[in-house]
Structure 1
Amino acid sequence: MSTPPTHRVALLFNANKIFDRDVIAGIASHLASTRAHWDVFLEEDFRLRLAGIEHWQGDGIIADFDDPSVAAALARSPLPVVAVGASYAAAADYPAGVPYVATDNARLVEVAYQHLVEAGLVRFAMFSLPASAGARWAQEREQAFCALLRRDNLATDIYRGHSTSAASWQDASEQQIAWLRALPKPIGIIAVTDARARQLLQGCSLAGIAVPEQVALVGIDNDPLAHMLARIPLTSVIQGGQEIGRRAARLLDQMLHGAHPGALRLLVPPAGINAQASSRHQPARHPHVMRARHFIRQYACQGIKTGQVADYVGISRSCLEAHFRQEQQCSVHDEILRFKLEAATSLLAAADANIAEVALRCGFTSVQYMHAVFKRELGCTPRAWQDRERRHGAASA
């Protein structure tokens, strides 16, 4: 039996970005499931090796075309090229003559918007990025947001703020807080990335704005790093990055064997939404309860007690307990425990989660105590819950 030919393929992506990493994972998935033999050229940040890429002696290239310098460099390449990047409302914004696999920006925003609508919100805003040639995808998401609100006869509010830098950090933070305070409440905010959403969570914390009672927040990317750094678990739309990678690899494979797709456009919808505490809008009637729940969401996993919550709110423990019993039909301790349990189940869903580490991170005094809480509240042990989630994930893959 003859051996399939080996092709030298360059993947021009920035592995520091979650979207690019997902695309690379999708390419790897395609290679693992087919007889394709590729020698892959991959840098952590290909932009360090971009000069002269048009003279690279390989067989094909898959590249992130959101960076204009990449599109310009590869316009001179004689090799088969598949472009990956954002979807654009105007056909002229796509590179000429290159097959393009795009994330569906309009659908990403629609999923986030619909999620906030279903939470009962009627006012909406967007936290975007300053306009730039390298972030046209953010402008496309703004346009999609405006189109949805025009359709529903609602007012639009878009705040772009500053690009992130050490020099502008303090001013940017103060201006974000001023914008947040000026918004009518309650309101749902869509951030164009998880990184921008995490900045707003910090702003809300500094300003004493309750999330999600006053501001319900949704990001885009489902970036694990942003989630780990956020005090309140962040809701995020999951891009279809891996499916984009699979489709791009399949296209290049066909081109390496003589296919000529021309200016083909493939649009990939989001993979879903990871709904977490930042968008679970349940209006609290009493301001003391709203303030207490905001504090609990941020610090439950640090082992706080009912007395500390009452001190933060500024009322007696017995008075706070009475408000909780009336409005939440539970005690303050129950609310703290519920949030710790929610955090633990989220962490246990990760493939490499260690039960002892999860217990420590979620503020349980011991593994045995977490075991008892799981048995009482969920009817199973942490290990059994984790195994069940893994089986469910494998069945859905």
Structure 2
Amino acid sequence: MTRVQTHPTPQTTHRIALLFNANKIYDREIIGGIGKYLLSTRVAWDLFLEDDFRCRLTGIERFEGDGIIADFDDPAVSDALRGCALPVVAVGSSFEDQAHYPPDLPYIATDNAKLVSLAYTHLIGAGLAHFALYSLPEAQENRWAQQRERAFTHLRAADGRSAAEIGAEIYRGLSTSAPSWNQASEQLTGWLASLPKPVGIIAVTDARARHLLQACLMAGIAVPEQVAIIGIDNDPLTRTLTRIPLSSVIQGTEEMGRTAAYLLHQMLHGARFPGRRILVPPVGINVLESSRHQPLASPYVMRARHFIRQYACQGIRTEQVADYVGVSRSSLEEHFRRELSCTVHQAILRHKLDAAKALLEQRDVSSAEVAIRCGFTSLQYMYAVFRRELGCTPREYQERPRPETSAN
């Protein structure tokens, strides 16, 4: 009997437009989720994405493609695609008011209420009793930020705060621009000074959290002893721009991208999901120094730790910390022993060790470079510290399996 040799049917290639501002971490990670869906399936898509990563809509109505996945947080995008004949999957913010969702399209949303609730619960767990939110000016393009304000308002009202009290806890500030930067910083510093201390502040993005960190550093406000800060986005670029590592809520952006790609894949084969809404919860929190609040009685220790966090890796000594605080070395040492059961030198060393561990976890940095960047006087000294404190060498630490990111 003769066997008939069969060949797999070639996949139809579909032309898909991705309308996102990929200069933003949120949009990039959604696109990454779309890409991972394509890699994990036999889907063949020819993707259109602006070369410079901006989302430019001119001529999109003449796009000769098969489908679109788009960021509907940008009102210009939703306007441009109104009445589009192609299959469209919308991605964006969640809304309290159901009328704000496009009625005729499937919509994949980041769950704003859960993002803010997770950050709020984290700050409560850090032992804080006062809370605030740093938002963005009210505007159509910032509707997602106003949704996070509402989520914060509900949480605070449930804890018995009045509308007037909650109003004082929310600050929108100015939009980021070079001409208004000094004014924005001064006003933000004034708001920070008006808040009861210690206070935990949720920023609606990591970029806004970075503003808070800068304002605290300029004003000499200790982070996290007086102001504990947590952002949203877990943006690695923002972390490189701050001297104090920034805690942040990790959005479920990859899952949003995967889900959007799956729905569009089904729609290209005839499925329809008008009005379907899928809310994607956050993944967890990357807990770093900015929100590791530890109640302290001594203002000298708070001020000293604030200085150590910024400059430990520059090779500072105990005498320099005491000079910054404005007390004698012996007096500062006594405060440290009473509050933290350690010396100032040990506190400096612990910070340098934590910084070294974080660098080694990147796997692409040499031990010698880590020693220099973390302020160790020599590579041999860093090896000695690792052996004494962790029972291993820096290289052995670097080769350990990485723990998963904290989800609480």
1:9 deviation in Å? 1.0
1:238 and 2:245 are equivalent in the alignment: no
Contact residue 20 and residue 55 of structure 2 kept, 8 A: no
Say if 2:202 and 2:230, in contact at 8 Å, map to a contact too. yes
Paired residue for 1:380, among 392, 396, 402?
A: 392
* Bigger Rg, structure 1 or 2: 2
Partner Cα distance (1:36, 1:327) in 2: 60
| Residue 114 (structure 2) aligned to one of 72, 96, 107 | 107
Contact 1:54 1:78 in 2 (8 A): no
Segment of structure 1 superposing worse, 44-53 or 33-42 = 44-53
Among 332, 335, 346, the residue aligned to 2:347: 335
Residue 372 of structure 2 is aligned to residue 365 of structure 1:
no
Check the 8 A contact 2:174/2:184 in 1, yes or no: yes
- Quick one: structure 1 residues 275 and 82, their matched pair in 2 at CA, closer, same or farther if it must change by over 3 Å? same
Structure 2 residue runs without a partner (length 5+): 1-7
Which residue in the other structure is 1:213 paired with?
Answer: 225
Q: Distance in 1 between matches of 2:318 and 2:302?
A: 15
Separation (CA, whole Å) in 2 of partners of 1:355 and 1:93: 52
Give the Cα–Cα distance (whole angstroms) in 2 for the partners of residues 70 and 339 of structure 1: 46
Instruction: Tell me, yes or no, if structure 1 residue 166 matches structure 2 residue 167.
Output: no
Contact 2:21–2:55, Cα closer than 8 Å, also in 1: no
Question: Percent identical across equivalent pairs?
Answer: 64
Match of 1:317 in 2: 329
Seen in structure 2, the aligned counterparts of structure 1 residues 355 and 71 have a Cα distance that, compared at 3 Å, is farther
1:144 and 2:119 correspond = no
Name 1:116's counterpart in structure 2.
123
Conserved 8 A contact 1:13-1:44: no
For residue 294 of structure 1, give the secondary structure of its aligned residue in structure 2. Answer: helix
Distance 2:268 2:371 in 1: 50
- Residues 321 and 223 of structure 1: CA distance in aligned 2, closer, same or farther (over 3 Å): same
Residue type matched to 1:111 in 2?
L
Pairwise CA distance, 1:388: 2.0
The equivalent residue for 2:82 is: 75
- Asked if 2 retains the 8 angstrom alpha-carbon contact of 1:15 and 1:44, the reply is no
1:260 aligns with 2:272: yes
Equivalent residue for 1:39, pick from 29, 41, 46 = 46
Aligned partner of 2:115: which letter? Answer: L
Shift of 1:47: 4.9
Preserved contact between residue 14 and residue 44 of structure 1 (Cα < 8 Å): no
Give the distance between the partners of 2:372 and 2:108, measured in 1 at CA: 42
Equivalent residue letter for 1:79: L
Deviates more, 1:74-83 or 1:195-204: 74-83
Q: Which residue of 2 aligns with 1:10?
A: 17
**Distance in 2 separating the partners of 1:135 and 1:356:** 45
Structure 1 unaligned segments of length 5 or more: list them: none
Q: Distance in 1 between matches of 2:88 and 2:96?
A: 22
Question: TM-score of the superposition, structure 2-length normalised?
Answer: 0.93
The runs of 4+ residues in structure 1 deviating greater than 6 Å are none
| Aligned match of 1:53 | 60
Aligned equivalent of 2:197, options 185, 188, 209: 185
SS where residue 119 of structure 2 aligns? helix
